Amino acid sequence: MINAVIAAVGVMLVLSLSRVHVVIALIVGALVGGLTGGLGIEATLKAFNSGLGGGATVALSYALLGAFAVAIAKSGLAHALADKALAMVDRQHATGGGQVKWLLIGLLWVVAIASQNILPIHIAFIPLLVPPLLYVLTKLQLDRRLIACVMTFGLITPYMFLPVGFGNIFLNEILLANVARSGVDISGVNVTHAMGIPALGMVAGLLIAFISYRKKRVYDLAKIEQVEQVAVQYNPLSLIVAGVAIAAAFIIQLLLDSMIIGALAGFLIFSASGIVKWRDTDDLFTEGMKMMAMIGFIMIAASGFAEVMKATGEVQTLVESSASYIDHSKGIGALLMLLVGLLVTMGIGSSFSTVPILAAIFVPLCVQLGFSPLAIVCIVGTAGALGDAGSPASDSTLGPTSGLNIDGQHHHIWDTVVPTFLHYNLPLLVFGWVAAMVL
């Protein structure tokens, strides 16, 4: 009989690729997984409903960040950035805006990386930074699939390689702790060394993405002008207020560890300054929440989906059954463990939640196969990170989509999920397997 996790993830992916809305795909996939796992319809729905609350906090955070993003657009920041960047393009007749293009790509890349360690705000920067830049990116005819790959790289690679910020949580508090808990001596293990080769796989994928999406792609400027209100008049005061509001949102989030309060504070600064008229706040707030509604509902549904997967008990069964096919071969063992990690993470949508599940079975198996402690940390860490890119339910793909699709011209599955899956999971599989063999 087919494993419930394979059935659920398979149905969810097939429906998503068939352009069925991701929320519907997650619900149907959860039902298929629950019934296949023997839960029955009532127990499946109960598990799904109990898991919905897990995504509610992030969904509400994104709704408030959407309202904040609309207020930023109202301040004229989008227009100011567009004017400045397009003036730079005009001065580069021969290069067609090449320097501006690389400047914007570099900015998003650096901020995405910094969001994992220097300013650990994770995906909160995307609804605030990307929409104001989207008009310029559209003018330059930059392929948004490349931007999605750039941001996803910045959201994943730092935490799987650098033990700072979210990387400290993933590498030290989760990965090393779970490997040690499973009976391996990690006293001499350098976690950065262990994850270095897999991280190079992410770098290779990013470089390939620059080749894949090097051509210009035309988007409808009228749609972005309508959403981003680029024709709004701006003045130095409105731009200063926008800068203060963004800084306040980030600082408050860092201090209180709450995207909700940070976004709310930023929105209130706009209201208090008069940039957003008090009588318009209700409409703007509603508009912003609608803009992020899809992402929020996907996050909520994804939490329910993950809870059903856990309730079936077949995540553990999948991990255990994979061990029976290895037959004392280190090469086959490493490959199977990585593939199982990819499948589990794509279903659960979180590398941080996957590692404890995988480590309990894979670590003793790795010891039996004769892998070194360094290789064991690499295998479990890579298996956990696999699937974060390319999962319809992962915030590493939902985040980029939330910023790039505000005008409805960037499809979550075909423009974020599929490109990031192909450019990151495939190289990560190859480099992770090589690392397991040589470490």
Q: Which of 49-58, 127-136, 375-384 has the highest mean pLDDT?
A: 375-384
> Which 3-state string (H, E, C) describes 259-318?
HHHHHHHHHHHHHHHCCCCHHHHHHHHHHHHHHCHHHHHHHHHHHHHHHHHHHHCHHHHH
**Bigger pLDDT: 316 vs 301:** 301
Q: What is the dihedral of CA 7, 8, 13, 18, to 10 degrees?
A: 90
Each residue's pLDDT tens digit, 43-70: 999 999 988 887 777 778 777 877 887 7
Q: In a 3-state reduction of DSSP, which class is residue 127?
A: helix
**Bigger pLDDT: 379 vs 165:** 379
Q: In a 3-state reduction of DSSP, which class is residue 411?
A: coil
Residue 187's CB is within 10 A of a number of other CB atoms, namely: 7
Average of pLDDT values for 229-244?
74
Residue 10 and residue 13: Cα distance in Å, rounded?
5
Each residue's pLDDT tens digit, 343-357: 888 877 778 878 888
Average pLDDT, the chain: 85
* pLDDT reading at 143 higher than 70: yes
* pLDDT reading at 122 higher than 70: yes
Per domain, the residue ranges of the chain are: 4-438
**Bigger pLDDT: 298 vs 31:** 31
Residue 390's CB is within 10 A of a number of other CB atoms, namely: 26
> Quick one: pLDDT at residue 250?
80
Q: How far is CA 264 from the centre of its chain?
A: 23
Each residue's pLDDT tens digit, 212-234: 999 999 999 888 877 765 555 66
> Quick one: pLDDT at residue 418?
95
> Which 3-state string (H, E, C) describes 185-212?
CCCCCCHHHHCHHHHHHHHHHHHHHHHH
Each residue's pLDDT tens digit, 177-207: 989 988 888 888 899 999 999 999 999 999 9
User: Token digits for 402?
Assistant: 């939330």
Residue 89 binned pLDDT confidence (cut-offs 50, 70, 90): low
